[in-house]
Amino acid sequence: MIGLKIYLTLKEGMDQGLIDAYKSSFQPAIKVQDGFRNVMLLKKQDSLCTWEINLFFDTEEQRQTWVATDAHQDAWPKIAANCVNAEWVLYEITE
């Protein structure tokens, strides 16, 4: 299994925009992908702008297939529009 942590720094006042984009576009689009395991939107406690999206797939190939879909190409810009920065780290997970 693989996990991807996406660290988001939001534009000021864009918390609700991020939540709306996640709930209405990103989450529904990723949940139907082959190999999908889980996705979470997390806000760091006591932080004004640090958020994470953590997502999990069975394989890296399945995650890359998701990234290449029209659904991802539609959903990700809606997330990114709320951010000044996004960085990510890919993990291999041993169960």
* CA gap 86, 65 in Å, rounded: 20
pTM score, whole prediction: 0.92
Q: Mean pLDDT score of the chain, rounded to an integer?
A: 95
**What is the reported pLDDT for 44?**
87
- The model's pLDDT over 39-68, given as tens digits with 9 standing for 90+, comes to 999 998 876 668 999 999 999 999 999 999
